[in-house]
Amino acid sequence: MSLFHVLGFGVKIGHLFWMLCCWFVSWFVDNGIEDKSGLLVGSVGDLEKTKMTTLKKKNKMWFWNKISSSGLKIPSFSYQFLGSVKFNKAWWRKLVVVWVVFWVLVSIWTFWYFSSQAMEKRKETLASMCDERARMLQDQFNVSMNHVQAMSILISTFHHGKIPSAIDQRTFSEYTDRTSFERPLTSGVAYAMRVLHSEREEFERQQGWTIRKMYSLEQNPVHKDDYDLEALEPSPVQEEYAPVIFAQDTVSHVVSLDMLSGKEDRENVLRARSSGKGVLTAPFPLIKTNRLGVILTFAVYKRDLPSNATPKERIEATNGYLGGVFDIESLVENLLQQLASKQTILVNVYDITNHSQPISMYGTNVSADGLERVSPLIFGDPLRKHEMRCRFKQKPPWPVLSMVTSFGILVIALLVAHIIHATVSRIHKVEEDCDKMKQLKKKAEAADVAKSQFLATVSHEIRTPMNGVLGMLHMLMDTELDVTQQDYVRTAQASGKALVSLINEVLDQAKIESGKLELEEVRFDLRGILDDVLSLFSSKSQQKGVELAVYISDRVPDMLIGDPGRFRQILTNLMGNSIKFTEKGHIFVTVHLVDELFESIDGETASSPESTLSGLPVADRQRSWENFKAFSSNGHRSFEPSPPDINLIVSVEDTGVGIPVEAQSRIFTPFMQVGPSISRTHGGTGIGLSISKCLVGLMKGEIGFSSTPKVGSTFTFTAVFSNGMQPAERKNDNNQPIFSEFRGMKAVVVDHRPARAKVSWYHFQRLGIRVEVVPRVEQALHYLKIGTTTVNMILIEQEIWNREADDFIKKLQKDPLFLSPKLILLANSVESSISEALCTGIDPPIVIVKPLRASMLAATLQRGLGIGIREPPQHKGPPALILRNLLLGRKILIVDDNNVNLRVAAGALKKYGADVVCAESGIKAISLLKPPHEFDACFMDIQMPEMDGFEATRRIRDMEEEMNKRIKNGEALIVENGNKTSWHLPVLAMTADVIQATHEECLKCGMDGYVSKPFEAEQLYREVSRFFNSPSDTES
Amino acid sequence: MDALIAQLQRQFRDYTISLYQQGFLDDQFTELKKLQDDGSPDFVSEVLSLFFEDCVKLISNMARALDTTGTVDFSQVGASVHQLKGSSSSVGAKRVKTLCVSFKECCEAKNYEGCVRCLQQVDIEYKALKTKLQDMFNLEKQIIQAGGIVPQVDIN
């Protein structure tokens, strides 16, 4: 169950995803085909193009339909997937692959997307940080520059504007030192004056030092340690000079140096004075400190110049130059120190005036990898360009989030794929199993068919010789036989017939197993059936000396409706088993109503040995039905049968070997016997009980047993029949007319065993004899003495007879009054009864050999009492005679295409005095039988050319029906000899083929019965007597 | 005279029994004989002659059907065999009947070889039966001519 649920769930999920996939796949395919066709179409014409497009569309549609239809099929998988899944399986596989690939791509894309997002964010952070730094640097620089400019104005005002000058070296250095916080980026400031060559001498004299050149020729200016001011040469003769006169203490070493002699400085100075703006040098190693630095130069003019002054005017007006030294490296360092997150990024500052060769001003030159942000720096000098490059110190962290996300997606997709795959393969497996089961089923069915065929063949082979036996018995019955012989022959025949029917019923086992067996609904005489069964086993029981007895409760109706054959079969099986396993004692069959049993159940005491039929202990009868469902555990009926139903309970009790406890559980299994040795000693197939169980089940009953090893077994079954008695005949039908001669007689049964006496009582009262039971002989005599009515017979059990015969006879002889009743001895076996011939004075007693049964009892009594012995009535004679009576003067039509058969049949019927007309074909028969006609019956061959017997009969029936209708409407004249108001001619089929199916077919097409070909007197009689009242009957 | 009759009667009885024992006839023939009484004195011979006429007709039919080259109409043959089987069982011609049974099986199985073989055997059988019965009737006639009565033969 749970597996099924899981499967169902899987299928549902699968369906969901299937639809999703369908959509994707169709989209894919659509696009794919479009692309391909697009490629192809490039080379073909327009016509081709349209064709292709339609084809493609068709393809697409087909594909879509196929997928969606198979998708829709999924919910009804369990019902009809068998056919479609084979096709689907290949698709499933492909789809799973497509599914997996698709989701792998999706996860890769997710990964890429997430990491690019992260990268973007990082870049943004970097940019903002870099820009922030650049802006700060720029601001600081500008502040410094402004201040330097302010200082230039200071100098022009206080140095050149005042005579004498208000500033000397000391004042300047002090002032600049104290205001250095205003210029955070400058490490030092110096002022150089413009000195023309003509003024040099005077200037040198005034200052007290010579103007010196910045670099000595042989000296590398970069050397910082051995920098020696004194070593510098005096400046050569130039047009003009720019010696430093004031300097901040930090750069005091540059005093007296000619700024125009340094390459960088000269350029700077010239540019500054012509532009009037602050000018920056390219970064270069500073003198003495030898660190990278930039010098900012402002020109100091004699007078305030207008902003649009030409360079020449500016040069003219130049008084000196103020320079600020920017030690970029340390200054940037300081600046960055002040900012947060200085650890995370690396900053480089470049001078990129020459683009191809950027000069690094700050920062380590780590190989640039990954992200870099470039921010421009504007320091107010249009000629010089600077930029700041920022990088992250650390490499980017692993993109954990994106990895986890994409991995998660992938895992889910794979799981789903796995589920789908597992589901599909599960379905496939189930399907395969189903196929396998189907094949096995087919095999099993084939084996079953083979078994049935075998059974059919074998039983057919048995039936053939049995028919011979029965035929011979048949002939024997036609001969002159006395009553006893008749009884023997009848028994033999009944046994034979029982055997044949048993064989048929073995054949029915297959039918039962397949549930095709249907019970008949026929009126039957239950007591007659039991008599028959009893006689079947009587010889065997007599041989063994086992007492066989039947008792049927009064309350069981004489006639029941049900299937007598099957009922008989059950009884035969049970009794057959009993007699097989019983060597001494008795077999006792009782039939009661279930209701009756309930009433007596409380009164019934535990059975003591004495109360049984033969005095031997038996198995507890009650235990055999205690498991019946119809009886609830407290011993009361759990359902109330509907009134017309007769619920019988039948027990077969024996005093046999019993069933071993270990075998009791498999007693109703087919072909199971107690042990292998049983079949060797007793024969049998072991099928009987299983058939019985099935049959009992069909009769809405149950079967059970109780058995005690070495004591005996009791089988009990219930069966439901309908009441076959018409309400009117219930009262007066108790005595059958055949036995009317005994009516009113009285008998005394001497028996000390109540159970046995009850059986005797039952059988005698069936004959209409009133019975008095007494336990002892004395009481019988006493009864005779005081009895007011005459007693016709005394029935004595053999057991008592053996014991008390002498005594009894003496007593009888004493009183001649007692001679009138006839002595009857009830004996178990033939030999024992005759052994004692002590009847000296009186007539030898009549011996009745058990089992008692009505017909035999009647015959014996008739003979013994000398009553009712007369010529058997006409209709009791041999069939040939009765047939003659029945058929004399009847007009019969025989239809057969075979001349010989026709002739023989006609001869046979003529012999019985019938007036026979022959017809060679069905058509002729129809023309002869067109009502009104004078035929009394028709015998019809079935297999005839042109029109077979069935067809002919059908037509005859049609004609009759039409005629009947006309008679009813008063259209047709009622024929004078036929004072009948409706036509129905008895039509009997003649056939060599006596299969049941043919019989049914006969009845179906309106025939009244069938006789086998060639004619068999008894069968003919049986069939014919159903339609013709015997003339003797009508006479008498 | 009596001795002759007795001898003839014995001969007749032996011959009849031998016919039963060799399986030419069965009980149906006995039944058939029972049907013959004063009302129809020649019943048996009438029926038998009808039977043999039937045989000739049917066998020639079948021979014709089986002789045709090409497809053989087995259903036609089967119908004839069925007829023959019915007739033979009616008169009690046991051997012919059993042959007919196997013949019919051959027909149903459409076994051409088997059919032809069966046809030949049937032909032989019925002719043999005819001679035997002829002999028997001759004996009967002799007995009657000699003034005796035909004995009832108890085949058991």
Q: How far apart are CA A546 and CA A549, in angstroms?
A: 10
Residue B25 counted as domain residue:
yes
- Does the distance separating the beta carbons of A904 and B32 come in below 8 Å? yes
Query: Which residues are within 8 A (CB) of A192 and not within 5 positions of it... i.e. 6 or more apart?
Result: A242, A243, A244, A245, A258, A259, A269, A320, A321, A322, A323
What is the reported pLDDT for A32?
44
Residue bearing the bigger pLDDT, A770 or A85 = A770
A307 token code pair: 């902003």
pLDDT band of A33, cuts 50, 70, 90: very low
Residue in chain B closest to A468 (alpha carbons) equals B27
Report chain A residues whose CB lies below 8 A from the CB of B26. none
* Selection from A826, A774, A767 nearest residue A802 by Cα: A826
Domain with CATH 3.30.450.350 in chain A: 168-327
Residue B156 counted as domain residue:
no
pLDDT digits (tens, 9 = 90+) for A900-944: 778 778 877 777 778 888 888 888 888 888 877 788 888 888 777
What is the reported pLDDT for A976?
45
Estimate the share of chain B in helix, then strand, then coil, as percent rounded to the nearest 5: 80, 0, 20
Tell me whether A164 touches chain B (CB under 8 Å). no
What are the φ/ψ torsions at residue B107 (nearest 5 degrees)?
-60, -45
* 3.30.70.20, 3.30.450.350, 3.40.50.300, 3.90.550.10: CATH of A168-327: 3.30.450.350
Residue B23 counted as domain residue:
yes
Question: How close is the nearest chain A Cα to the Cα of B143, in Å?
Answer: 25
Query: Which residues are within 8 A (CB) of A1024 and not within 5 positions of it... i.e. 6 or more apart?
Result: A883, A886, A887, A937, A988
A530 token code pair: 């039991």
A360 bridge partner residues: A350
- Does the distance separating the beta carbons of B34 and A911 come in below 8 Å? yes
* Selection from B23, B3, B5, B2 nearest residue B155 by Cα: B23
What is the reported pLDDT for A47?
46
Match 């010889």 to its residue by tokens. Answer: A539
Residue B119 counted as domain residue:
yes
Report chain B residues whose CB lies below 8 A from the CB of A904. 32, 35, 47, 90-91
CB-count burial class (<10 Å; 0-12, 13-18, 19+) for A317: middle
pLDDT band of A833, cuts 50, 70, 90: very low
- Does the distance separating the beta carbons of A943 and B35 come in below 8 Å? no
Q: How far apart are CA A547 and CA A798, in angstroms?
A: 12
pLDDT digits (tens, 9 = 90+) for B38-60: 777 788 888 888 888 888 888 88
Match 């005077």 to its residue by tokens. Answer: A202
Question: How close is the nearest chain A Cα to the Cα of B6, in Å?
Answer: 27
What is the reported pLDDT for A610?
59
Q: How far apart are CA A255 and CA A209, in angstroms?
A: 10
Tell me whether A883 touches chain B (CB under 8 Å). no
- Does the distance separating the beta carbons of B50 and A899 come in below 8 Å? yes
Q: Residues for chain B: how many in total?
A: 156
pLDDT band of A872, cuts 50, 70, 90: very low
* Selection from A640, A628, A797, A753 nearest residue A697 by Cα: A628
Match 């640097």 to its residue by tokens. Answer: A137
- Does the distance separating the beta carbons of B91 and A900 come in below 8 Å? yes
pLDDT digits (tens, 9 = 90+) for A223-277: 444 445 555 677 777 788 888 888 888 877 778 888 887 777 788 888 888 887 7
Q: What is the 3-state secondary structure (H, E, C) of A332-386?
A: HHHHHHCCCCCCCEEEEEEECCCCCCCEEEECCCCCCCCCCEEEEECCCCCCCCE
What is the reported pLDDT for A505?
63
Backbone dihedral region for residue A868 (phi beyond 0: left; psi -120 to 50: alpha; all else: beta):
left
- Does the distance separating the beta carbons of B50 and A911 come in below 8 Å? no
Give Cα separations from A460 to A231, A455, A853 (angstroms): 149, 8, 33
Chain A and chain B share a number of CB contacts under 8 A equal to 61
* Selection from B144, B140, B125, B130 nearest residue B15 by Cα: B140
Residue type, A64: W
Do residues A878 and A478 make contact, with C-beta atoms less than 8 angstroms apart? yes
pLDDT at A1033 over 50: no
What is the reported pLDDT for A415?
92
Instruction: Tell me the ipTM for this assembly.
Output: 0.79
**Domain of residue B111, residue span:** 2-35+42-145
pLDDT digits (tens, 9 = 90+) for A342-394: 667 778 888 887 777 777 777 776 655 567 788 888 877 777 888 888 888 77
Identity of the highest mean pLDDT range in A368-372, A785-789, A793-797? A793-797
Among B26, B27, B35, pick the best mutation site for testing chain A contact (most A Cβ within 10 A): B35
pLDDT digits (tens, 9 = 90+) for A585-594: 888 898 988 8
Residue bearing the bigger pLDDT, A784 or B89 = B89
* 3.40.50.2300, 3.40.50.1100, 3.30.870.10, 3.40.50.300: CATH of A876-1035: 3.40.50.2300
- Does the distance separating the beta carbons of B54 and A899 come in below 8 Å? yes
pLDDT digits (tens, 9 = 90+) for A623-635: 777 777 766 544 4
Residue in chain B closest to A945 (alpha carbons) equals B79
| Average pLDDT score, chain A | 74
Indicate the range of A256-260, A403-407, A440-444 predicted with least confidence.
Answer: A256-260
Nearest to B91 among A904, A908, A910 (CB): A904
pLDDT band of A72, cuts 50, 70, 90: very low
- Does the distance separating the beta carbons of A471 and B27 come in below 8 Å? yes
Looking at CATH, the fold of the domain delimited by A759-870 is given as: Rossmann fold (3.40.50)
CB-count burial class (<10 Å; 0-12, 13-18, 19+) for A277: middle
* Selection from A661, A706, A665, A666 nearest residue A686 by Cα: A666
Residue B94 counted as domain residue:
yes
What is the reported pLDDT for A42?
40
A944 token code pair: 């005839």
Mean pLDDT of B21-34: 83
Residue in chain A closest to B31 (alpha carbons) equals A908
Question: How close is the nearest chain B Cα to the Cα of A504, in Å?
Answer: 23
Residue B76 counted as domain residue:
yes
CB-count burial class (<10 Å; 0-12, 13-18, 19+) for A925: buried
Cα angle for residues A650, A653, A657 (degrees, 5° grid)? 145
Residue in chain A closest to B40 (alpha carbons) equals A907
Residue bearing the bigger pLDDT, A867 or A759 = A759
- Domain of B18, CATH number, reads 1.20.120.160
Helices A1017-1024 and A400-478 meet at what angle, rounded to 10? 100
Residue B155 counted as domain residue:
no
pLDDT at A435 over 90: yes
pLDDT band of A450, cuts 50, 70, 90: confident
What are the φ/ψ torsions at residue A809 (nearest 5 degrees)?
-65, -40
Residues of chain B whose beta carbon is less than 8 angstroms from a beta carbon of chain A are 27-28, 31-32, 34-37, 39-40, 43, 46-47, 50-51, 53-54, 79, 82-83, 85-91
Q: How far apart are CA A453 and CA A462, in angstroms?
A: 14
In CATH terms, the superfamily for domain A519-721 is Histidine kinase-like ATPase, C-terminal domain (3.30.565.10)
Report chain A residues whose CB lies below 8 A from the CB of B93. none
What are the φ/ψ torsions at residue A651 (nearest 5 degrees)?
-120, 140
B142 token code pair: 């002799």
pLDDT digits (tens, 9 = 90+) for A481-498: 888 888 888 888 888 877
Indicate the range of A201-210, A799-808, A988-997 predicted with least confidence.
Answer: A988-997
Domain with CATH 3.40.50.2300 in chain A: 759-870, 876-1035
Half-sphere exposure of A270 (CA within 13 A, CB side): 9
Residue in chain A closest to B88 (alpha carbons) equals A900
Pairing of strands A292-301, A284-285: antiparallel
pLDDT band of A126, cuts 50, 70, 90: confident
Number of domains in chain B: 1
Tell me whether A900 touches chain B (CB under 8 Å). yes
Residue B154 counted as domain residue:
no
